[in-house]
Amino acid sequence: MQLLAERIATWLGMEGLPRQAVVAGVVLVVALVVATVVLTIAGILTWAERRVAGRTQSRVGPNRVGPLGFLQWVADGIKLITKEDVIPAAADRTLFRLAPYPVIVGIFAAFASVPFGQKLIAADLNVGVLYLMAITSLVVVGVLMAGWASNNKWALLGGVRSAAQIVSYEVPSVLAALSVVLLAGTLSLQGIIGKQGGWPWEWYLFYNPFTFVAFFLFFTSAVAEGNRTPFDLPEAESELVAGYNVEYSGMRFAGFFLGEFANVYLLSAIATALFFGGWQIPGVTPDMQAASPVWQAVGVGLFALKAGTGAFVVLWLRWTMPRLRVDQLMGLCYRYLLPLSFAMLLGNAAYVWLVPQWAAWVVQGATTTVGLAVAGVFVRRVFYHIRHVGDDVSLDLARGESGTFDPQLQVRVYGAFRRRHAGDSAS
């Protein structure tokens, strides 16, 4: 970033200014840009979630504000700003007011070391992975504060559950990330991406069977850390109403809400950097990318695509999986994920020492083939089911003939679907 600061200073013809002032100015602008980007990503994801939910449940989702309802999140933001900031009479006022701040700071500050592109990173720390794991833990503090300060039993239970869940699942996720750190020999996210390549067989995901399993361990525990379904017990609406944020309204609620959705993108972005080759483009070396702004733009786009796909999977999970029970949740973490992630770590270390280079190539190829085959079968099954349902219910059925919204049509087609399947349960 210091280099960037100097280049900008030269470009502006301001070499005369004190170096520190230029650096401070650049850092300030970068921080502002990152904060804006995070807010936008989180906002768009709240819209995406509702669209995905709509599609999954064969309904439309928000489609009124802007094209495809895209500006829904702006409308929601404006609505939340004009709502009263309710503080219950029995609440601890100071803690209640402060609680959203740790959540937002924890998630926002984490985005500082997310490598959006080869040059597009606010702070390329040499302890990047450790920093990410540490700073996101701030969320626990805010959640506990919110839960206790609300003086509401739902909130208290939700807050305590959430704290237990986040700290428990942190251990497997840190260990799974360690598997990659061990292979790359660095904690810097740019360094880890640099050790991978653009093609799938150059990703750490397919490096060997241990990293392949480690990815799923990381993803599962990261989803649990973000309090997302199937691990959303802290917010379980059917038992705790809304968990720790039940008493929150207006912009304070928006703080928790945006934090949750920014976290969805954050976990996908970290997974992309650690396992999916980050901004690496197939067939383009990092040096070639560094030399050409066009390739860099492509790299940024590729990173956004990979992370966006990950975020989509997290949203999709929420509308597909049923929720776990509290005892199953802790059992899953300490009985299965924790020993497994230790095994993957030692397996990786032994792999580095025991397997010669030629055998490593073979294993890498085999893992890639098997991994891609598994992914292919999965995608085929998904499309098979979509098509199968599509025979009865069109995904576009609510649009009608002329492209306008027609609720009657949806009712009619759904009725036909039900009539056709009326005998299914009997036979």
Partner 1 sequence: MTSDLAGLLFLAVFALLIPGAALAIPALIAPKGTVDLTPYESGMKPVGSARLRFSVKFYLVSLLFIIFDVEVIYLYPWAIRLRDLGWPGFFEVVMFVVILGVGYLFILKKRALDWD
Which CB sits closer to partner 1, 298 or 330?
Answer: 330
Q: Among 46, 86, 52, 68, which Cα is nearest to 260's?
A: 46
CA distances from 249 to 80, 148, 403 (A): 8, 16, 37
Residues with Cβ within 8 Å of residue 256, at least 6 apart in sequence = 100, 103, 142, 146, 244, 245, 248
Which CB sits closer to partner 1, 259 or 308?
Answer: 259
Asked if the peptide bond before residue 293 counts as cis, ω within 30 degrees of 0, the response is no
Q: State which of residues 12, 28, 362, 382 lies at the interface with partner 1 (CB under 8 A).
A: 28
CA distances from 380 to 68, 276, 377, 418 (A): 27, 21, 5, 26
Which CB sits closer to partner 1, 254 or 397?
Answer: 254
Using the rule CB under 8 A, is 27 a contact of partner 1? yes
Residues with Cβ within 8 Å of residue 271, at least 6 apart in sequence = 215, 218, 219, 222, 307, 310
Min dist CB 243 to partner 1, Å, is 12
Using the rule CB under 8 A, is 213 a contact of partner 1? no
How many degrees, rounded to 5, is the angle at CA 206 between CA 202 and CA 207? 70
Site size toward partner 1 (CB under 8 A) is 87
Min dist CB 309 to partner 1, Å, is 26
* Direct distance between the N- and C-terminal alpha carbons of the chain, in angstroms, rounded to an integer: 68
Residues numbered 168-207 forming contacts with partner 1, rule: CB under 8 A: 168, 170-171, 174-175, 178, 181-182, 185-187
Residues numbered 256-275 forming contacts with partner 1, rule: CB under 8 A: none
Conformational region of residue 123, where left means phi above 0, alpha means psi within -120 to 50, and beta covers everything else:
beta
Which CB sits closer to partner 1, 23 or 284?
Answer: 23
Torsional sign, CA 214, 215, 217, 221: positive
Residues numbered 358-417 forming contacts with partner 1, rule: CB under 8 A: none
Binding mask 104-133 for partner 1 (x = CB under 8 A): xx-xxx-xxx--------xxxxx---x---
SS3 of 2, please?
helix
Residues numbered 286-305 forming contacts with partner 1, rule: CB under 8 A: none
Min dist CB 313 to partner 1, Å, is 26
Supply φ then ψ for residue 277, to 5 degrees: 75, 10
Min dist CB 333 to partner 1, Å, is 9
CB half-sphere exposure, 341, CA atoms < 13 A: 26
Supply φ then ψ for residue 422, to 5 degrees: -65, -35
Owner of token pair 């709502």: 83
Residue type, 357: Q
Residues numbered 309-368 forming contacts with partner 1, rule: CB under 8 A: 326-327, 330-331, 334-335, 338-339, 342, 345-346, 349-350, 352-353
Min dist CB 223 to partner 1, Å, is 18
Binding mask 85-104 for partner 1 (x = CB under 8 A): xxxxxx---------xx--x
Q: State which of residues 120, 247, 299, 367 lies at the interface with partner 1 (CB under 8 A).
A: 247
Min dist CB 70 to partner 1, Å, is 21
Min dist CB 23 to partner 1, Å, is 5
Min dist CB 67 to partner 1, Å, is 26
Using the rule CB under 8 A, is 41 a contact of partner 1? no
Q: How far apart are CA 350 and CA 341, in angstroms?
A: 14
Which CB sits closer to partner 1, 339 or 415?
Answer: 339
Which CB sits closer to partner 1, 168 or 410?
Answer: 168
